[in-house]
Structure 1
Amino acid sequence: MMKEFDYWVLRLIEFSIICLLILVPSTSADEGSFVSIACCTESNYTDSRNISWISDYNQFPNATGCHTIQSEADYSGYNRSRAFYQNSGQKRCYKLSTEKGEDYLIRATFLFGHIWSSSFSVSVGVTPISVVDSSEDSAVVEGIFRATEDNTYLCLVYGKGAPYISELELRPLQNLKYYLEDFPSSVLKLVTRNSFAITKDDIRYPNDTSDRIWKSNPSADPGTGTGTYHISQPNVSISGNATASPPVQVLQTALAAPDRLLLLHNGLPTESYQYLVFLYFYEVDRTVQAGERVFDIFLNDELKKRRFDVSGNGSNYKELSFTVTANGSLNLTLVKVSGSENGPICNAYEILQVLPWRPETNKSDVEVILEVRNEVLKSNQESEVWEGWSGDPCLPVPWDGITCESVAGYAVITVLDLSSGIQRGGFLKGPVPSSITKLTYLRVLNLSHNDFTGNIPAFLPSSLLTSVDLSFNDLGGSLPISLISLPHLDILNIRCNPHVAKDIPSSFNGSTLTTGQESCSAQEASNQRIIIGAAAASGSLLLTIVVGIIFYTWRRHFLPQGKFDMKQHHMTKNLIFSLPSMDDLVMKSISIETFTLEYIEAATQRYKTLIGEGGFGSVYRGTLIDGQEVAVKVRSATSTQGTREFENELNLLSAIRHENLVPLLGYCCENDQEILVYPFMSNGSLQDRLYGEAAKRKILDWPTRLSIALGAARGLTHLHNFAGRCIIHRDVKSSNILLDHSMTAKVADFGFSKYAPQEGDSCASLEVRGTAGYLDPEYYMTHHLSAKSDVFSFGVVLLEIVCGREPLNIHRPRPEWSLVEWAKPYVRESKIDEIVDPNIKGAYHAEAMWRVVEVALSCIEPFAASRPNMIEIVRELEDALIIENNASEYMRSIESSGSNRFSMVMERRIPPPTPSEPSSILSQMAPPEPR
């Protein structure tokens, strides 16, 4: 009796173990470890697959961007989307808890409801993995990665319009092997995951315990080869010690062919990328023995596995993985070998694109800036800036108010500008965050025009700060010795802080210090909070000229004479032009050096190396005493430009600085010689690189051209929006866009620049300035100058960049004299391939190119009122550059399918000139030689 009892107990234990093995998966995490976010859902819920979904309101509590999507009739999934309408910042990031060193699947779903038009990129951490566009009703982006930190961000980076998202899923992969140890610095982007199961629905959780989605294929794809057919087996029984990665529902059906099985994938990025291919084989036909189904495996015609036997080595299930480099397409071919009784089969496969994991911002800087954020947030919960302060502070785009540079391969924070909280939903208040002082690489700090209170924090002696602006706050106490004794500090502005002690310690290092409470009434301070920037209002140029005359007189009377000494004649190393406006706005100081004529002659070795000539005169290469290479522009005695242009450029560049404007280093005005000194631009001008001698040596590729266009546009934007008074360049052309050693574009030659007319001024200009081929026809006809004249010229430059042709060339056939008139008909007929520079054909993304052409076309509209402003142009070019740098499958599918998402744009036609509108300059005048 006891033996019988023991027998049934053992049987019961065995049965329990079998049930547990069936119910509890052994290779992956359970649903409890999933993160499933349903954007804009009003409450948490559990779906039909027993997956728990949570709302994203804990990360983004604002419901104004939430929309219910009217989906197709047969769509039964979640139908809400959150759109991020841009108030501040360039990205929005979801924070996901991860465990460092663990592997994860991340998946985002984007439903589009035809409410808005958008195009934006998606990043895992700082690594862009896809571009989503509203031309698709829905999109799913999926990646596999190994977490490098305890938190990982999924970021939507602004492109055109508002980015949007519906669902976000994070799944730990645990025992699933995707060989991320072989690709430690990569994100694997899913291209496809296919099974050949004969079922209507995709196979996923709970069948796949990691919630991978296996696309079903109820019928053979016509592209899979001749004679393909399905083999099914309802009961999967794996022999040997093998463990299957796909669920049994995937393995129950295989696609087979008598001789050759071809699986073809088109629409991949045209650039060369590495791909991981996983193949899954289960011998569905149980009558087939070892050696009876043997085939070779090829990837893109490269033999990867010879004489593969599905049933070999005592197991009827096998997994294979390969790496392959491909561009444009990838084909998997299985070919039966001689002597095999059966043709090849395949149950499922995955293709993943290997994307390099981009280095994130210096970890120390990330930790410190998060401390800064948390400190300021305590007193400023309502400020909109914090919504954009998520994810990496520098990459793929920086947070609002932050500028970053690369040091030792990592991004670091060099500028923190939190000035004028009114631009971000209210003045920032509370104490100055003390964590700011721990930003190791910070050089510029601007907290002006806020309501910060309390004492100024102490700074570390190792600080690299060169400029600190704390003006227009309510700070108190004394200036810390640690701040005023910083070794690199050049500018310190503490104006309009009535409670800061006025006594300046004797240890102050002599840097430019701006103090005082004059013009700090509440009303004026409020106005100045709005008009933030360098002083450039009316009267500044007059003051600068007076300062220049004083220095010129001083130099003539007090300079030592006699034997020349280059060091002795290197004048006033840190001469400061302080240029306040008549309303005493925030001071901006720019160092402009004066040089003696002898110093210039020594630096240029008596004008030994001529590097260019222009309307002002000749340009020579030189070297200053500190080793800096310079370009020295010497006015010619026969120049059509005179002292007025010289003073104009000197005064203008004494007041402004921008990374995309050529800076003025110094000048010389001696013995009737007028000389300007600039940094040497080692890559010459854009004109040289497009169709000059430099272009013959090395072709300028499309991404570089686009980056140059954006840089030049940013430089012009700075001019047009300078301190509340627009500056018009008046001679925008490709030869005036210079390129430094890193190909950064810098707008040059400000001899013709002038302030835009203000209310009450005469709008008419007595003389039209500019260069034939670039002249705005409306300005030419009416003499009415506006910033839109620069816009027209910049549109011509954009066409030069696209076409690689001069704006005016009378040696071509008559219809091709003018680049503008020649290009317009091709654009009207959507034939941009006919005008694109042959040197870059086939090496650009169609959408990015079309966006640039659209911008160019809008810039050269006959009427100024129809043209965009430079801010709008910058936004469009930024969109184009994002698209160019983040190539995606959707763009390839659009191009390969022959569809044209620009059909609406193509319907726009450029009307022929009428008697009431300005016509082409070609019809008004014979083209002169360019200036």
Structure 2
Amino acid sequence: MDLRWSCLGFLLIYGFSGSVLGDQEGFLSLSCGGSTSFVDSSNISWVPDDDYVSTGNGTTVNFIEGSSTSRVPLRFFLDSQEGRKCYKLPVKNISSVVLIRPQFFYKNYDGLGKPPAFQVSLGTATITTVNLTNSDPWVEEFIWPVTKDTVPFCFLSILDGGVPVISSLEVRPLPDGAYRSGMGNLTNKSLRKHYRVNCGNNTSTRFYPQVNAIEVYEIVDIPLEASSTTVSALQVIQQSTGLDLGWQDDPCAPTPWKHIGCEGSLVTSLEIFGIDLRAISPTFGDLLDLKTLDLHNTSLTGEIQNLGSLQQLEKLNLSFNHLTSFGSDFATLVSLQILDLQNNSLQGTVPDNLGNLKGLHLLNLENNKLQGTLPQSLNRENLEVRTSGNICLSFSTLSCNDIYSNSSIETPHVTMFNPTKHNGHNRKALIIGITCGVLCALLFIAFLVFIYRREKGSKFTSTAGTSSEMRNWNATKVLTCKEIKAATSNFKEIIGRGSFGSVYLGKLQDGKLVAVKVRFDQTPLGADSFINEVYLLSQVRHQNLVSLEGFCHESKQQILIYEYLSGGSLADNLYGSNSKNVTLSWVRRLKIAVDAAKGLDYLHNGSNPRIIHRDVKSSNILLDSEMNAKVCDFGLSKQISQADVTHVTTVVKGTAGYLDPEYYSTQQLTEKSDVYSFGVVLLELICGREPLCHSGNPDSYNLVLWAKPYLQAGAFEIVDDCLKGTFDMESMRRAASVAARSVERDASQRPTMAEVLAELKEAYGIQLSYVTSRGHLN
């Protein structure tokens, strides 16, 4: 803010005609918070402000002036009201310059005795700070250059400043050339009156600044506005999402809108998540100044597209979506440094053009369906590539069959950060010295931990360990690679495949059928997940949790042996390959839900310490030949100690479509995260479809967003067609109610797993009585 003083600053031009004072053309006089129109003693017409502002609440307050007391209206703006608090003041075709005069009252209208302080902005300029502790009322006058049809007059809350208030707001047109400045015209500047010196004329100043007076003003520079292309793009994005993201007028000034980051007048950051975008529209490509684009968890599908024009882009986050193809746009993203594509459905091989991004230093491809050889152009200095959770993805040219048919071959893997290779002997000496120091420190820490645990008599609970340590975990059977080969007839029959690896049918020496899961992910993170699952399953026993029959952890192999469940997964039976052969009745679906809820309730409340599964989904609920359900796959599970009674902060892991949005945004994991995921499973059981569906109406792509409003309204037309006419309405109502409450965005509004189980038991009991009375229980 540039301050210029004295008569050399700004002088009112003499000679306004008296007729001007009586002319109200272009005048706007708002009674803020008022409810009626009126004409004051100066013959000024006042109107309520409702047509010019969309937020705030009106009230009245006593105002004492001299010996008279009157009730004066005011409007106050609570912090809980969304968005900026703005008036839209019409100034079209009035004049080139207008006078804007707001008056602010507090007068203890709320009885709290705490006058507020807040900022006021005009257009893109933060023009003053109002502090009603210093003066109540507080009056301002601004001279504003007219460049648009309207000008936003806004309130900006400040920390601990209280609630903004205003009593009146006036707009007055000024004749062209009414003010002149030693600095030239006012095109990019506004004036804030500092004080006035009268020069002998006592005429009322209600209409214009007083004639024959010297007025001293501050000069306020008006920040540049964002480009029209940027503003148009943001408006289109706001309309296409169907959400009020807070964008109106300029996105950057006086303060950036939510979800937006700015550098001056340039929009350089955009973060949108937790909504149903489905595709990256071409409009995103118009935001040419973007350096950061975050569209995680927005239900994106298909090919990555429409980003090729963003040559300034440095960080791109498209994680936790359902993208299937890289597309061709990456070749032009020459400034890209961080690319996060984890937890999508990317298939095939990694394209060579990613290697052309010379500034890239982090590429996260975890938990996709990629396979094959990584481009050698990515195997370079200072580039970290994360690939865990894919199908045999590495820099090696070995095939997956070569890797898993020969236990003597170490599984290639990559989660790498390649150091530079210069400065030969000195660098090697430095590395050796650091390595020795770190090893000594780790050995010392390990010794202290060992002594502490031995003295406390505690169980080994770390997820890090060796095969010898794992052998002591509650007598879980340890098998050799040779025994595994024999049990699976050299990995002959595949019965399942996922991002973790393949599952083979096996038979142990005692004749027991087992499922043998061979993990592709041999990275340190994958090893942690493997050891974590072995440890947890060796500690828990429950009829609704899949039991671990043994494991193999030698020669870099990570193999888990489970009890074999012939019924397949719930997902397979609902809408997968098994759904063609069997139709699950409503009573069967409820029984499966009750079984799975029992297993999860045991993890949350029955085990010690408690366990959060962290990857509850229909494909992790397995069925035996009698359709009894068991929860499986504990690779991502997390133990909760007594110290973590409310939550534990952890890196977000899970599956798109099932991931708790609150957990994703806060990284605070609780049992309610499992409840959310299980709520999605309940919706699958009710609707008979997967959580993210690419076919049909785009509006129904996301199961939670599509189904929840129907179920909350008691509208059951979205129930699986094959269930129509076969269920008791009260049973369905109870199941739908607990499903809808389980997927609330606010975790505090979700039931506990114990409460979910209790309600499902009631729904199951009602449906069981219904079908047995009709004699068609399947």
Q: Please tell me the TM-score bracket, short chain as reference.
A: 0.3 to 0.5
